[in-house]
Amino acid sequence: MKLFRPLLFLVLLATAADAFAIGHGPAARLMARCEAVLYEERCRLGLYDALTDPEKTGLIGVEFSPLTTSQGHLPDKQASARSVMADVVAEYLRRAGVGEGNWVAVNASASFPGFILASLCAVESMGANAQVVFSYGASMYGGTDPEFTFPVMLDLLNREGLLSTRLAAAAPGGAGDRMAETLLEDPRPTVDILLASRSEERVDAPSVAEAIRRRLEIFDDTPRPVKCFISCGGPVVALGTTEAVLELPHGLITRFEPIPKDPERGLLFDFLDREIPVLHLLFVRGICDDFGIPYESGAGR
């Protein structure tokens, strides 16, 4: 018993130290620096709204635009944009076994720019690499400003020397990964202009199954096999069209049974079937609860 108590104390002390480190680590510090640049640029463009983005992240978009594909919850977008999320993703990646020199696959819709930036800051702060496929469709308050999309943000952060990751490919996103359903006017002219303005490979597949297959080819085209898959938001290519997605937990997932066999089962299941850990970044409140992070806006970054 005399030996047990000191050991227990050390374990509790280490756990408390780890909890305290979340939000103060290198990934969070990098994300905060990135957000300062994005906030300044959003102000310069006349796109900043203090009511929707009181924490000045530069990552909150408008409610409605040609890129708005579905409803979105503003507090979710605000919480996911806090710089602490970069440390959260870094911790998930460490638990998944990701380390320096490893490759991570990132499939991201524009719904949660905060989660995308957090993932890239986490990966780069760990000395790892990211292969990223981005899609323009976004829910309300996500990456919905056509004048300041996430690819444009990433270009800026590259120029400023804060990040080095570049997109591997871009896609329309939204329903069917073809922007088949939106809340406003036909979005394709806007999306086509945005895609045409980019130098990355364009993924514009005729079906969900083909869109998934093409992404897998891109994610497999890395110097080393990917160590982990990150899904930001809820695009159909990641979640699939089967009911099995309703049983997926949030955060880090290392195994799931039974894995559906449908060709439209989604990238999350494709990587789990390969026994590759995945990060499911969609249920913001649950992720906040896992790490004791305040969810409500104004609670601090």
C-alpha distance across the termini of the chain, in Å: 41
Alpha-carbon radius of gyration of the chain = 19
Domain boundaries, the chain: 4-291
Q: What sign does the dihedral 39-41-44-46 (CA atoms) show?
A: negative
Banded pLDDT at 11 (limits 50, 70, 90): very low
Structure tokens at 103: 């490759």
Q: What's the whole-number average pLDDT of the chain? A: 91
pLDDT tens digits, one per residue of 195-252: 999 999 999 999 999 999 999 999 999 999 999 999 999 999 999 999 999 999 999 9
Helix axes 113-125, 26-44, angle to 10 degrees: 140
Banded pLDDT at 189 (limits 50, 70, 90): confident
| pLDDT at residue 7 tops 90 | no
| pLDDT at residue 9 tops 80 | no
Phi, psi at 202, each rounded to 5°: -105, 125
| pLDDT at residue 183 tops 80 | no
CA atoms within 13 A on the CB side of 11: 6
| pLDDT at residue 3 tops 80 | no
Average pLDDT on 264-268 reads 97
Q: What angle do CA 228, 231, 235 make, to 5 degrees?
A: 150
Task: Give residue 19's pLDDT.
Answer: 42
Higher pLDDT, 96 or 14: 96
